[in-house]
């Protein structure tokens, strides 16, 4: 798919999402971004899109709410005049000890990390059909793609991300006849989380066969590849520097 004149919705407009937005804009696409709490980050990402002459729209959405998912997609498509690409990046990632895990933690984790990807895709499909096809890129996780949890305290997150892989496969089959390709990215050590100390950063580097953190552009490359392809669908691409081999 050529990006020129296309319209993209990215759920989550901070950190890596901002780098992905800039790459789409550089390729000639207009970009809609959502945020829940990080309005400033989303607006900064939008400013970078506009700086290269493309349109940007920023919307608040709590993706744990089904109505917000539908509103976000439909408003983005209406504002940009079309919708060709959906990138489901929004995620809840917080360590909670098993004995302190509540039903509310479980529900919110699966609502944002799994259900929202389905709901946003469901809302996006009619707009993509109107354009004769489209691309959906979901975000899983390297641990989920490897088929075993590595870290305790992330039970809802791991279950949701395993579900994202299954969702990607099933959606790819359902939507193939509409020329809507559905794939997923499973990031590994791309950039250290905020507040991670130097010892922990170095420990991850030692555990990664390529010996370093990947950096935002490795995810950008993967997303662009999954948008550009015309014959790959239902795949989950692990971007982890070989971490799963360790």
User: The domain spanning residue 85 has which CATH number?
Assistant: 3.40.50.720
- Does a structural domain hold residue 148? yes
Asked, for residue 1, whether it belongs to a domain, the answer is no
Tell whether 2 is covered by a domain.
no
DSSP state of 191: S
Domain count, the chain: 1
Any catalytic annotation for residue 157? Answer: yes
Residue 49: give the domain boundaries. 7-245
In a domain, 84, yes or no: yes
51: pLDDT strictly greater than 80: yes
Q: Evaluate whether residue 21 is within a structural domain.
A: yes
What is the average per-residue pLDDT within 65-79? 98
- Whether the per-residue pLDDT at 17 is higher than 90: the answer is yes
Q: Is residue 19 part of a domain?
A: yes
Distance CA 168, CA 138 (A): 7
Task: Indicate the range of 99-108, 151-160, 192-201 predicted with least confidence.
Answer: 192-201
In a domain, 172, yes or no: yes
Q: Would you call 221 a catalytic residue per the annotation?
A: no
Q: Which residues of 51-89 are buried (b: 16+ CB within 10 A; e: fewer)?
A: eeebbbbbbebbbbeeebbbebbebbbeebebbbbbbbb
Q: pLDDT value at position 38? A: 86
Residue 49 lies in a domain: yes
Tell me the H-state helices in the chain. 16-26, 39-51, 66-80, 103-110, 116-130, 142-146, 155-175, 198-207, 216-228
Give the residue, 13 or 89, on which the prediction is more confident.
Answer: 89
Q: Which of 35, 115, 158, 161 is catalytic?
A: 161
Of 35, 115, 157, 158, the catalytic one is: 157
Distance between CA 151 and CA 185 in Å, rounded? 20
């Amino acid at each position: 798919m050529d990006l020129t004149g296309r319209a993209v919705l990215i759920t989550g407009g901070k950190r890596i999402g901002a780098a992905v937005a800039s790459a789409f804009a550089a390729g000639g696409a207009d970009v809609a971004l959502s945020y829940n709490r990080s309005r400033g980050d989303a607006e900064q990402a939008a400013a970078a899109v506009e700086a290269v002459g493309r349109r940007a729209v920023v919307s608040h959405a709590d993706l744990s709410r089904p109505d917000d998912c539908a509103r976000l997609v439909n408003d983005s498509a209406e504002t940009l005049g079309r919708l060709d690409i959906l990138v489901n990046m929004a995620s809840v990632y917080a360590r909670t000890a098993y004995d302190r895990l509540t039903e509310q933690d479980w529900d919110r984790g699966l609502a944002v990390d799994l259900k929202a990807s389905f709901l946003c895709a469901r809302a996006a499909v009619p707009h993509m059909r109107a354009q004769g096809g489209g691309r959906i890129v979901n975000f899983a996780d390297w641990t989920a793609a490897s088929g075993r949890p590595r870290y305790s305290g992330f039970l809802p997150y791991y279950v949701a991300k395993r579900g994202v892989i299954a969702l990607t496969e099933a959606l790819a089959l359902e939507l193939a006849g509409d020329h809507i390709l559905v794939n997923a990215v499973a990031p590994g050590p791309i950039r250290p989380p905020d507040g991670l100390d130097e010892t922990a950063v170095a420990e991850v580097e030692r555990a990664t066969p390529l010996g370093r953190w990947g950096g935002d552009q490795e995810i950008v490359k993967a997303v662009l590849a999954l948008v550009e392809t015309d014959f790959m669908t239902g795949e989950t691409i692990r971007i982890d520097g070989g971490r799963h081999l360790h």
